[in-house]
Structure 1
Amino acid sequence: MAPPRNRRPGFSRRAQYSLFIGYVIAIAGALVGAVLLALSTLNPPAFSALRAGTAEITAPISWAAGSAWNGIASIPSWIGSFFGVHAENARLQKQVAVDKQQLLRARAIAYENVRLKKLLGVREPGEETIATARVVSSSATSTRRYALLYAGLIQGVHAGMPVRAPDGLVGRILEAGPDTARILLLIDPESIVPVRRTKDGAPGFATGRGDGLLDVKPIALGNAEYAPGDVLVTSGSGGIFPPNLPVATVVSRSRDGALAKPFAVPDALDYALVLRAFVNMPAPAPAETKP
């Protein structure tokens, strides 16, 4: 005859031992938890060593579990990045091919210009650095924009010399003392710089606004169609600024010109270079005295 289904554990000694061991483990776990809880509440410093030890043991497990979860969670972004990188790589390869062709054409034009200048015997003064010095301060809050350069007459710095940074034109020396000089910044309203557009050589003037931008006005009205992204460099006119110094890039059009942002930011300058004036004007001849 089959044993009844509702057989109690009392009929099996193994079942009785298993049930007893389970009760013992549960009671021991509850006692240990109560002791640890009381110890952490009554004496936290004594429990810190145990917490530190537990953290040392569980840290590798937590790190492994977190890494695995982050890896699984980042799979969709990896897939999206994979296709995005391939598209970006294709675009950049096309851009590199176009830039390479433009670079070759520019080198050919530059070589041709050098050859023609030699044939014509064109005489041009070179860009000569007079001094390299630290920009001590600049007037960032005033409408008049000046900067103080830690170099002066002793270092060969004189009024009228252009000042540039690695990024582009900064301004010109307004006045010089023995060891310091005052720079009229490019963005000052009293600053006017002859410029030209690099893509077609259209001449114009860049005037400071006092707010960090430049007003660009063309010399000829037919060249007034500036476009955002147009690059402006010095033209060399006027005899102060050497030609082809980076000045600004056009950010927007205006009614009769454009607004441009200078390449060099005076507030972020550490050092600047003082250049010799492009053309040193001869001293006036002394007046003849009549006998």
Structure 2
Amino acid sequence: MSRPGYQRASSTNLANRPQHRSLEGKLAIITGGSRGIGAAIASNLASKGAHLVLNYTSDSSADKTESLSASLQAEHNVRVLPVQADLGDPNGPAHLIATAKNKFAHPKTGKFQIDIIVNNAGVAGNQLLHHVTPDAFLEQYNINVLAPILLLQAAIPHLPTDRSGRIVNLSSVSASLGFVGQTVYGGTKAALEHMTRTWARELAERATVNAVNPGPVATDMYSSTGADFQQQMKPFILSAPLMREREGVDPQEFVDDAKKAGGRPGYDHEIAGVVAMLCSEDAAWCTGSVICANGGFKFSY
């Protein structure tokens, strides 16, 4: 029996009721947002109501980013701004923030707030110690380490002042596993994890700051790694609880490849789900952490 004054909602009314989207109206900046994990993060956040700024670097990514932006706008009724900015250029991060402000600032008050920043853009390159060159070092450290610093510097004046901001850095299991050939790349990701902990303290009144550490993910970057490097990863894949291939569930190509690789890689949407969790209101009590986003390839602690 219903309580006095209480009317049970019919299933029809529930079906027609607008669904709450947890990031409705938030503004998220995603670097490297044109493909792979970045595009998957963009899709996830847009589905939750966030407006997006999608950064890309090369001219060859322009059409892809424009197409993704149009698709997300149409599907999720959000605003999406593609911005070409070379984060390896010291002026690139500031240009990205300035362009976003020009698009999203309130037309009358000029108010502009960045709620979410996902530092996803990165470059990788494996060289044995005696093959490391200054150019290889500078390229990876400029994009993987310096660019997030410069982006946060440009963004700080526009972050919330009530701890509601969210910053998520894309690290890697390479930060702590010491793979052969990753003197430079592994070092950049270890630096990013250290910066995550420092920023969590420095920006505590503005935003939470966390990192995620993917392992092998089915993206262009993973497919470009050589057989020798993939063999280094096989023992970790074999012991990862969630990387065992599933016949009839996982794409057949990964099932077929599992005997050589040890199991299946992660999928970009699985990484995006962990990032989105850290961008939510429910993650307000989590900061300065590296969160496992690799199926148990490398446990976080």
TM-score range with shorter-chain normalisation? Answer: under 0.3
TM-score normalised per structure 2:
0.22
Larger radius of gyration: 1
Choose between structure 1 and 2: higher helix proportion. Answer: 2
Structure possessing the higher relative contact order (Cα contacts under 8 Å, 6 or more residues apart): 2
TM-score normalised per structure 1:
0.23
Choose between structure 1 and 2: higher strand proportion. Answer: 1
